[in-house]
Structure 1
Amino acid sequence: MRASYIVDPIKWEEEFSFHTEVKVRFSETDMYGHLNNTVPFVYFEEARIEFFKHIGFDTWSSAESEKIVVVADLQCDFVKQVYFDEILRIYVKAAHVGTSSVDIHYLAKNSENQPVFTGRGAVVQINKSTGKGTPWTQKEKIILHGK
């Protein structure tokens, strides 16, 4: 489990405090019962949204908001095979907060507490009208930092 964004694997893993569970559906597997390699990105989205709700960072989701959060990049690194009907815990954390972006990290573990895949991705806050990056407010930075 050593992707380029993981400098110290033990410390990296210890920094996760939030997770959500997903159950691997039959439709998410191939003919051998393995998880399709596109599905972790769906799990990342679900976990990211639940993480944002959990930390109280969902004001951008209202129709009145002038700002939205969009995914700028996303990657997944596969560690262990995943099969139909497994229950996975998808851990999420805000690893680095920039001016208008945040680097989100993911860790998926199976029921034996083994890492099965990891990931990271940048999300950027933009103005709905202009499509340009919009800096986080001080309050948003505090929420994202978890302080």
Structure 2
Amino acid sequence: MTGILQNYKFKTPIYIRFSDLDGFGHVNNAVYLTYFEIARTNYWQQIIQWNWNETNIILGKSEINYLKPLKLYDQIFCYVRTSRIGNSSFDMEYVIVKLTETGEEQVCTTGQTVCIHYDYNAYKSIPIPEAEKRKMMEFEGFKRRS
């Protein structure tokens, strides 16, 4: 794997539903955030194993770069990674690819979200739990701060 995908260790399939399409037969631009959410949730469940009884995550920012349209029968996957970890927030990056007729992965969409560990009772951000932070750092290969 080369280029943009070389820094990604996690990939998950995404299934395009008929209801995802707009009047022109393309995946509607608003649906891409749902695809990112599916990929992010799979990443958290399979790699990080968040303790959702103690963890609440909200999005502080989302960014999407539409490069090539997606259609109903495209076979697509989303690569996802944690690219930055702060005290109470972290950045996640996404690449949606579709398989071409020759089986190659063609990059169609890139994006980023800022995720915030949040206390709904106090209405404020709070530090990311150490266990989850450690798992993200280990999986992504971040060096521990001294």
Of the three residues 69, 77, 87, the one matched with 2:75 is: 87
Backbone CA RMSD of aligned residues = 1.6
Question: What SS does the corresponding residue of 1:55 show, helix, strand or coil?
Answer: helix
Question: What SS does the corresponding residue of 1:110 show, helix, strand or coil?
Answer: strand
Q: CA deviation at 1:13?
A: 2.0
Asked whether 1:109 is paired with 2:101, we answer no
CA contact (8 A) 1:103 1:123 kept: yes
Task: Report the Cα distance in structure 1 between the residues aligned to 2:49 and 2:84, rounded to whole angstroms.
Answer: 15
TM-score, normalization: structure 1? 0.84
Q: CA deviation at 1:140?
A: 2.4
Match of 2:121 in 1: 129
**Deviation digits for residues 13-68 of structure 1 (CA, Å, limit 9, x no counterpart):** 21111111112111111222111111110000111011001113320x22xx2x41
TM-score, normalization: structure 2? 0.85
CA contact (8 A) 1:71 1:123 kept: yes
Asked whether 1:18 is paired with 2:6, we answer no
CA contact (8 A) 1:26 1:85 kept: no
Give me the identity figure in percent.
24
Gaps of 5+ in 2: 142-146
Give aligned pairs, total.
134
CA contact (8 A) 2:36 2:94 kept: yes
Task: Report the Cα distance in structure 2 between the residues aligned to 1:25 and 1:85, rounded to whole angstroms.
Answer: 9
Question: What SS does the corresponding residue of 2:131 show, helix, strand or coil?
Answer: helix
Gaps of 5+ in 1: 1-8
